[in-house]
A and B are shown apart, each in its own frame.
Chain A
Amino acid sequence: MLALVVFVLSGAITHLVLIWRAPLLATDHQISEGIRRGGAWNTLLHGPPPRAGATSVPLANPDTLGSRAYLDLRKGPFQLLGTRPDGCIYWSASVFAHNTDTVLLLTDGDTPDRQVSLGIRTTEQTFSEPVRHEAVLPSATGVLLIRCFMRDRTDAAYLAKLDAQRRQIVLRPMGEGAP
C-alpha cells in the first residue's frame, strides 16, 4: 500500500513539475541559444533574413525579418522607442513572459503614425516618463520579438532599406534604478 502511495505521489509531482517547468526551460533554452549566437541581454538584436541552419526556433517563419531582445528587468524597466519601418507587409512587437505567455502584442494597426513608444516593466516597477503602450511582465525575465514580414526576401535593395529603417527603433533603459 505504501509503495502504491509513493508511486502515485512521485508520478503526480514529477508530472506537475514538468508541466510547470517546461515553458520556463524552453524560454531559457532559446535565450541561451540566442546569446550563444551573438545576442545579449537587454540589447535589441536585428537578425538577418532567415537561413537554413541559422535558427534554433522550430517552425520559424522564413518571411520574417526579425529583431529580438532578451529582457532582464531586475535593474529597471525598458522602452522600445522609434519609428517603425513602412516597408513591412506586416509589423508587430510582442512581449512574452518567462513562461511564454504573450503579455502584449503591438501591431502596425496600433501605430498608424509609425511611432512606437512601448514601455516594458514588471508589476513592481513604474515608468519615469509617459509611454504610449506598456507591457507589464509577471517576471523579471521576458522576451521582446519584433516581426517585419518581407515583401520579397530576394530583393537586396528592398532588404537594405528595410534593415536601415528597423534600426531606427531602439531599446533603452528607463526609470529609477535603470542599468
Chain B
Amino acid sequence: MNHPARTAIMLGAAAFAGASAGAVAFWLLTSPQFSRQINLGAWRSTAAVGEAAQDPYSRARVAMYGIWGLPPREAIYFTADRDDDGQRLRPECTYQISGGALPTRWWSLTLYRSGFYVANPANRYSWSQTDVAKDSAGLWRIIVKPKGEGQNILTSAGGEGGLLVLLRLYQPHADVIADRKRTPLPSLRRVGCAPTYS
C-alpha cells in the first residue's frame, strides 16, 4: 500500500474513532447518572427539568428521559429505582411505600417499567393525594406487588424492564422548591420476594 493511501486510511480511522468517542461521551454525559441530581435516600431528584433556559446537557437529558416536564415552581419530581436499603427494585418482590402529608398542592405516585405504565386489568398506574386511602392520622401506605388489585395497590408484573417509582409534587411549597431535602419523602421498604407475596 502506498503512502497516501495509508495516510487516508489512518485519518479515516482516527475520524471514526473520534466520532465514536464523541458519541460515547454524549451518551455518558446525558445519562441520568450524570445529571445534577439530589440524592435523598432511595429517592433522587433532577435539578433542572422544564426550565425556560437550561444548559445544553440538561436540555438533552430531559429531552430524552422526561420531555416536556414542568419547571420546579410548578412540579418537583422524585424517582426511586432502589429501595431504602439500596437494592434495585425487582418486579417479583413486594414493596411498601409509606408516607404522610406532603408540602404541596397535590401529589401523585406512579409505578413504571422501562419508563412506561405497567399494564394491569384495573388500569391502575398511580395513587394520588386525592384517591389514596389514609388513616386517621393522614398516613398512607401503598403496596407494590407482582399481582393483585385493590385500594392502595400497584402491580408490577406486566411489561418488561426495570421498575421505577415516580413521586410528583405539583405546586410544591416554597421551602421545598428552595431545598428539596426538606421534603418528608415516603419510605420504600422491601417486604419480601417469596412466591407467597404474589
- Give the shortest distance, in Å, between A151 (CB) and chain B (any CB): 5
Give Cα A16–Cα B21 distance, bound, in whole angstroms: 12
Chain B, 3-43, CB within 8 A of any chain A CB: 10-11, 13-23, 25-26, 30
Chain B residues proximal to chain A, CB less than 8 Å = 10-11, 13-23, 25-26, 30, 50-54, 56-57, 59-60, 62-68, 70-71, 74, 105-106, 108, 110, 112, 115-120, 123, 125-126, 128, 130-131, 158-159, 164, 166, 168, 170-171
Pair B59/A101 contact, Cβ less than 8 Å: yes
- A selection of 16 A-B contacts at a CB cut-off of 8 Å is A3-B11, A3-B13, A8-B18, A11-B18, A18-B60, A26-B67, A51-B123, A58-B116, A59-B166, A61-B110, A61-B126, A62-B110, A89-B130, A90-B105, A100-B67, A102-B71
Inter-chain contact total with CB atoms closer than 8 Å: 162
Q: Which residue of B lies closest to A23 (CB)?
A: B63
- Give the shortest distance, in Å, between B64 (CB) and chain A (any CB): 6
Interface size grouping (class) on chain A: 35 or more
Is A72 in the interface zone, CB < 8 Å from B?
A: no
Contacting A19 at CB < 8 Å: which of B60, B62, B66? B60
- Give the shortest distance, in Å, between B188 (CB) and chain A (any CB): 17
| Interface-located stretch among A76-84, A91-99, A125-133, A169-177 | A91-99
Pair B106/A27 contact, Cβ less than 8 Å: no
Looking at A27, A30, A59, the one whose CB has the most chain B CB atoms below 10 A away is A59
Is A63 in the interface zone, CB < 8 Å from B?
A: yes
